[in-house]
Amino acid sequence: MKDESPYVHLNEKELLEIIDSQNLPGHIAIIMDGNGRWAQNRGLPRSLGHQAGVESLKDIIKLCCDLKIKVLTVYGFSTENWKRPPEEVNSIMKLVVDYLSNEIKELCQKGVRVNPIGGLGGLPEKVRETLSMAVRQSRDNSGLIFNVALNYGGRQELTDAVCAIASSVAAGLLNVGQINTWTVSNHLYTAGQPDPDLIIRSSGVSRISNFLLWQSAYSEICITDVLWPDFKRRHLLQALADYQQRERRYGGLKLN
């Protein structure tokens, strides 16, 4: 969905009227890109861009709950993001702690289950403690599964899956001939969840950036020029309206 989408000029009410509630994606994944550029365009520190991006995330989680989306995965911090300046990394980590500490009560009221994914052991201790708190407090919730990808990399996820499978083979728990696509999927961070039906990337960049490499094999991809702090409910509804016009064939042909 670039800005030439036929739905770009519709408001939230109009979009809600045309969206088919029976044809929504079960799993939406979002690459929340553009926080730094949003801040720089305003002469602000990049950290304030990330802070503004959190407000967009709150809007999107609320809408996913309203629409009864089953899974939302957001790309919060990649394995490559450690290359950024230490002050920016620290500000992002503090945002994770502050967001979950301040919002966990409301998330639980909405039935959201927080599920961090990625190389969690490599995160700062305070972040790990906060994630554990959020998981513990929300584990019995039965609404939206909220996957927070932190210190996440798709290649690392696949490497971890291969290592776990190889260990099972070495221990005699699994035969090589038994390994199939289900085996791999069952060893990913998202094991037991449906693959994303729709992946959204903000800021106009046209790449997947090491995000859900296995899971995205047949995902519909929506790219919008809107920077993440400006991405609100209306923009997600536009993406959903666009998604519902696509024909998903999974490598097959449409049958008349």
Residues taking part in catalysis:
33, 81
Q: Say how far residue 111 (Cα) sits from the centre of its chain.
A: 18
The residues, ordered by sequence, that sit 6+ positions from 145 with a Cβ below 8 Å of its Cβ are: 70, 71, 72, 112, 113, 115, 193
Distance separating alpha carbons of residues 31 and 200, to the nearest angstrom? 6
Looking at this protein, which amino acid is placed at residue 227? Answer: L
Q: Which of helix, strand or coil describes residue 137?
A: helix
The one-character DSSP state at 177 is G
Looking at this protein, which amino acid is placed at residue 90? Answer: N
Distance separating alpha carbons of residues 15 and 7, to the nearest angstrom? 8
Distance separating alpha carbons of residues 109 and 79, to the nearest angstrom? 32
DSSP-H helix ranges across 139-199: 154-170, 181-185
Can you tell me which residue has the tokens 């929300």? 138
Distance separating alpha carbons of residues 2 and 8, to the nearest angstrom? 9
Give me Rg for the CA atoms of the chain.
19
